[in-house]
Amino acid sequence: MALIDERRAQMFPTLTAAQMDVARRFASSEPHRFAPGELIYDVGQVAAPAWFILEGSIEVVRRDGLGREAPIVTETAGQFSGEVNQLRGQPTLAAAHAGPDGCLAMPFDAAHLRALLIGSAELGEIVMRALILRRVGLLQSDRVGPILIGRGADPWLVRLQGFLTRNGYPHSVLYVCKDEEARELIERLGVADDELPLLICPNGTVLRRPSDAEAGMCLGLTPQLDPDKLYDVAVVGAGPSGLATAVYAASEGLSVVVLDQRAIGGQAGASARIENYLGFPTGISGQALAGRAWNQAQKFGAELAIPISVEGIDCHDADQPMRLRLSGEGSLQARTVVVASGARYRQPDIPNLGCFEGAGVSYWASPIEAKLCEGEDVVLVGGGNSAGQAIAYLAPKVRHLDLVVRGPGLEATMSRYLIDRIAALPNVTLHTCTEVTGLEGDRNQGLTGCHLRDRDSGREWQRAARHLFLFVGADPNTDWLEGCVERDGKGFIRTGFGQGGSACLLETSRPRIFAVGDVRAGSTKRVAAAVGEGAAVVAQIHGVLAG
């Protein structure tokens, strides 16, 4: 059953007259009357308000990059338009016209919509739930958002799919080998193989083999940051610790901007299922957890800039705001900076590894990778919890999985519940004291096999595999802080330098720069610990700003 049928009452609630009276106090302007059939907002319109209907009706439709439309819903008096994009003024994913009798509706721009969510607990819960469920419904629908056209295992296509999926952005994929419409389009446009994949944005713009940054600009994901605006807090990294900082700081009235070079969730966002996070006894995917956290941050007014990487900080004048140098020659300034940039995936010393990245070699196991390796033999390297979660997710989908670990077993590095679950999987073979020494295949046909070596005996053998998953740890993402804060021998940021002593344990050697989560030296590498540090740092920021 489609979500729109299963939870229609929550997706499109009808407010009572009393609730509409409460909402009216938060409207951004007086009600507006639309003539029958008049366009109220269109796909791609920036900062389109949410409309609360007083009289008549609104007909809402979705549309994809090829102009194909499909109806979503007809809303009547007491109902309201919009989804989570309305919380931050991003381009709308749907279009709406007034119904056959016209309509009278009152507008709520992003700021006034957030004021309603916070100012009325009862209405806030109803409206916020509806906005989130509508985005989920769009994610499950076709004919909405941009269209990707490419070849199934093309690493460029896989990367773009991952970028859109991790950021919760609705999209469709057409494969040249299966879809006649896709073949006709690339022939009509004269697109060469080395220009695939195509990204067709909802406004009709066609991008050939775009980068994440180009895709983000075309879709309106990436905002135009004002270099003269002074933020209270700039958070670098949108993983669990960075998102926690954004939620708690924004909820306490601080102006917050969050920057990430790829997607919300960090490494945790790629986890298929997190089962040891407090309050989720049945588990939750990293992407779902990150999405919920980001919706909370938006509710309180935090800004998100993706995909934007921070190249460095001008941090030498302790009496002035810090200026962050951004990719694309941009910049912004902030009174405090929270470094939550986490870690980048470690690359083991395997010859020609780089040739297969995106063409058989992956550092995470998302639904995209799971679909690509369905029914095939795979090799996974790693013995930590991230590896265990990936194994439990992949094993039911693949034919056979060879688990390779350098140590004598899993007990020292993996949680017991994951070890027991892996032991019960009939198609997983554990190879201890083993390492991958080489790869077979080429860039065109992709990975075909892995060479393994027993580290004790020196025996070598080959395993057929179309996919190699690497979960061998990560190195701190701190190169951009060179010369600004003190780091340990492995590159992790030292903290505890704050003037407030134990009250500023998360402050770095540079006043007003804090570090939280995996990037911090001595941190516990767990999602819950990262969230805790992200929350705790806000109290320390208040102390510094007050001083």
Contact 339, 515 (CB under 8 A): yes
Residue written as token pair 């199934």? 152
CA distances from 128 to 116, 120, 165, 220 (A): 10, 11, 21, 22
Biggest CA–CA distance in the chain, Å, is: 82
Model pLDDT, residue 267: 84
Domain 147-213: CATH class, spelled out? alpha beta
Structure tokens, 342: 């986490």
- Are 79 and 12 in contact, with CB atoms under 8 Å apart? yes
CATH (residue range 353-472): 3.50.50.60
Q: What is the value of pTM for the model shown?
A: 0.91
Closest CA to 208 of 189, 224, 225: 189
Tokens of residue 399, six digits:
């034919």
The two tokens of residue 296 are: 């909370």
Helix (H, G, I), strand (E, B) or coil at 379: strand
Question: Can you name the CATH fold of 230-344+475-546?
Answer: FAD/NAD(P)-binding domain (3.50.50)
Instruction: Confirm if 466 and 370 have CB atoms less than 8 A apart.
Output: no
With contact defined as beta carbons under 8 Å apart, do 239 and 269 qualify?
yes
Q: What is the pLDDT of residues 122-180, one digit of tens each?
A: 999 999 999 999 999 999 988 899 999 998 878 899 899 999 999 999 999 999 988 89
Kindly state the tokens that stand for 502.
């134990």
Closest to 395 (Cα-Cα) out of 407, 417, 379, 416: 379
**Residue 299, pLDDT score:** 95
* Nearest Cα residue to 360 out of 297, 294, 300, 450: 450
d(CA 478, CA 470): 21
Are the CB atoms for 339 and 495 separated by under 8 Å? no
Q: Is the pLDDT of residue 39 over 70?
A: yes
Encoded tokens for 269: 């966002």
Task: Delimit the domains of the chain by residue range.
Answer: 3-139, 147-213, 230-344+475-546, 353-472
Find the angle CA(414)-CA(370)-CA(166) to the nearest 5 degrees. 85
Quick check: do 3-139 and 147-213 share a fold? no
Domain 3-139 of CATH type 2.60.120.10: yes
pLDDT band of residue 516 (cuts 50, 70, 90) is very high
Q: Which one, of 92, 98, 62, lies nearest residue 77 by Cα?
A: 98
pLDDT, tens digit, for every residue of 347-396?
888 988 888 887 899 988 888 888 889 999 999 999 999 899 999 999 99
Instruction: Report whether pLDDT(503) > 60.
Output: no
Please report which confidence band the pLDDT of residue 500 belongs to, taking 50, 70 and 90 as the band edges.
low
Q: Token pair for residue 49?
A: 């308000």
CA distance 289 to 271: 10
Which helix H or strand E contains 391, and what residues bound it?
helix 385-394
Backbone torsions φ then ψ of 171, nearest 5 degrees = -160, 165
Give the residue-averaged pLDDT of 476-501: 87
